[in-house]
Structure 1
Amino acid sequence: MHALGRELAAVLRPGDLVVLTGDLGAGKTTLAQGLGDGLGVRGPVTSPTFVISRVHPSLVGGPALVHVDAYRLGSAAEVDDLDLDASLEEAVTVVEWGAGLVEQLAADRLEVHLERPATEAEGELRRAVLRAVGGRWEGVALPGA
């Protein structure tokens, strides 16, 4: 997931919204860490579960990473209280557990669904399904596509 995050960072730009979904332990935070590494932001990128949102400024002149964990949020109104739209245009915003809560923030977004292995025999292998929504992603070569 970390390597995928680094690859995704290469195609992200300011204003992008990335929505991460998947079961607990599927690799959402690890993917966000890879995004942070790829974007060259100040870290460490850790799960913002208890603080809800963290801003990681760029160390290389690129966009900041706004990392949000919406697990404890119960409604789009609570997401609105975070004022994510205030930094949306100049940052890359990544929201864990955001499906059904943050789609109103941007018509264009990248949805990443992560799946853990169903059995121990499959080892640590994870599966990522990327879904690009909106015109921003037309013609963008996404990793694994």
Structure 2
Amino acid sequence: MATCAALLAATAGSAVTWWVTRGTGGTAAARTRALDSLRPASTGYASLRGAGAHRSLTVQVKGLPTTSGYFEVWLMDRSHTKLVSMGALDPDGKAVLPVPENIDLREYSVVDVSVQPYNGKPDHSGKSIVRGPYAG
């Protein structure tokens, strides 16, 4: 009985380790933070990796709504008044986006993902899906 319990615990631990590291190239040190859902069916996660000129923002969102537009990733300040467009999610709801060295991450500490129409306007649509601080 004890051997069976130990085997079950080892299997569960291996499964959790695999799940945590599968999207990070095998490095368990990568952390993500859940973003606040601003739409009941959507969940998102974000993390920042690297330093200096080699920083990247990784975002993943599940449960995206149907749209004729696209999903834009933004960095914003805590007051949600200053925004920097970082790029778009791919069709699977994922993005790994370079973060320019001149962006002050102490000021731009929040990630926002919005639904954007194809209308030629670069402004935020005001229709956010998920938002919150990123890990890293």
TM range (shorter): under 0.3
Larger Rg: 2
Larger helix proportion of the pair: 1
Larger strand proportion of the pair: 2
TM-score, length-normalised on structure 2? 0.27
TM-score, length-normalised on structure 1? 0.26
